[in-house]
Amino acid sequence: MSLLQEVDAIEQESIKPLDECQKLIEHGVSTADDLLREGESAVHGDVGQHNEKLCSFTKKALHIQLDSLPEIPSLVDVPCLSAQLDDCLLTILKNQIFRHGTVASRPPVQLEEFVEKPGGILVRWCKVDDDFIPQDYRLQYRKSTASHFEDVYVGSETEFIVLHIDPNVDYQFRVCARGDGRQEWSPWSVPQIGHTTLVPHEWTAGLEGYSLSSRRNIALRNDSQSCGVLYSKAPTYFCGQTLTFRIETVGQPDRRDSLGVCVEQQNGYDSLQRDKAVCISTNGAVFVNGKEMTNQLPAVTSGSTVTFDMEVVQLGPSSNEGGNFKLRVTISSNNREVVFDWVLDQCCVSLYFGCSFSYPGWKVLVF
Predicted TM-score (pTM) above 0.75: no
Q: Average pLDDT over the chain, rounded to whole?
A: 89
Q: What is the rounded (10 degree) CA torsion for 207, 208, 210, 216?
A: 30
Residue spans per domain, the chain:
3-84, 109-194, 210-315+322-366
pLDDT, position 48: 65
Question: Residue 348: what pLDDT?
Answer: 83
CB 176 within 8 A of CB 185: yes
Round to whole Å and give the CA distance between 125 and 159. Answer: 6
> What is the structure's pLDDT at 319?
44
Q: H-helix or E-strand containing 238?
A: strand 237-238
Q: How many residues does the chain have?
A: 367
Task: Kindly compute the dihedral angle of the four CA atoms of residues 39, 40, 41, 47, in this order, to the nearest 10 degrees.
Answer: 90
Divide the 367 residues of the chain into consecutive groups of 10 and give the mean pLDDT of each group: 92 86 86 85 72 80 73 79 86 88 85 93 93 93 93 96 92 94 89 93 91 93 88 92 94 94 91 94 95 93 94 64 76 94 86 94 94
pLDDT of residue 101: 79
* Structure confidence by residue, pLDDT tens digits, 82-131: 888 888 888 899 999 988 777 778 899 999 999 999 989 999 999 998 88
How many Å apart are CA 4 and CA 16, to the nearest integer? 19
What secondary structure does DSSP assign to 121-151, as a single string? EEEEEEE--TT--EEEEEEEEEETT-S--EE
CB 258 within 8 A of CB 284: no
Model pLDDT, residue 301:
93
Evaluate whether 266 touches 290 at the Cβ level (below 8 Å).
Answer: no
Fold for 109-194, please state it. Immunoglobulin-like (2.60.40)
Q: Which CATH architecture has domain 210-315+322-366?
A: Sandwich (2.60)
Per-residue model confidence as pLDDT tens digits over 44-94: 776 667 777 778 888 887 877 766 677 777 788 888 888 888 888 888 999
